[in-house]
Amino acid sequence: AQTVTQSQPEMSVQEAETVTLSCTYDTSESDYYLFWYKQPPSRQMILVIRQEAYKQQNATENRFSVNFQKAAKSFSLKISDSQLGDAAMYFCAYRGSLNYGGSQGNLIFGKGTKLSVKP
C-alpha cells in the first residue's frame, strides 16, 4: 500500500525568506501524481502544485516549486519570498495513475506540516 510521510509537524520562516517542506512517499507504481495542498484556518483545501511522475522537470507555480526526486521517492515543496498569507497547514498527497488502476479521487495524504510565517 502507498504511504505518504511528512516528517516535520511544524516549521517556521521569516517573512520574505525561503522555506522547504519535506515529503517522502512509498509506492511500487511507476506512474502516479503528487500534490501539495494548503489548508488555511478557513479549512478549505487549496491545490498549490501538482507533479506528474513521468515528467522529470520540477513543477513551478509562481513562488512555489518542488524538488521531485523519483528514485529517492522525495517530493519537497519550496516556498520563496514567504508571505504572511502563506501561514497554513500544508499537506503532501499521492494518487496512482488511472491507467494503472488508481482511483481518481483516492488521494493519500500525509499528516501535514504547520507553517508559521514571522513578520
Residues that bind other proteins (CB under 8 A): 4, 33, 37, 42-47, 50, 52, 91, 93, 97-99, 103-112
**Which one, 44 or 62, has the nearer CB to other proteins?**
44
- Rg of the chain on CA atoms, in Å: 14
Q: Shortest distance, CB of residue 62 to other proteins, whole angstroms?
A: 17
The alpha carbon of 45 is separated from its chain's Cα centroid by a whole number of angstroms, namely 12
Q: Shortest distance, CB of residue 12 to other proteins, whole angstroms?
A: 18
Coil/strand/helix, residue 23? coil
The alpha carbon of 14 is separated from its chain's Cα centroid by a whole number of angstroms, namely 20
**Which one, 112 or 117, has the nearer CB to other proteins?**
112
Beta strands of 1-119 (E only): which ranges? 3-5, 10-14, 19-21, 24-26, 32-39, 46-52, 60-61, 64-69, 74-79, 88-96, 108-109, 113-118
Q: Shortest distance, CB of residue 71 to other proteins, whole angstroms?
A: 22
Q: Shortest distance, CB of residue 74 to other proteins, whole angstroms?
A: 18
**Which one, 42 or 62, has the nearer CB to other proteins?**
42
**Which one, 5 or 18, has the nearer CB to other proteins?**
5
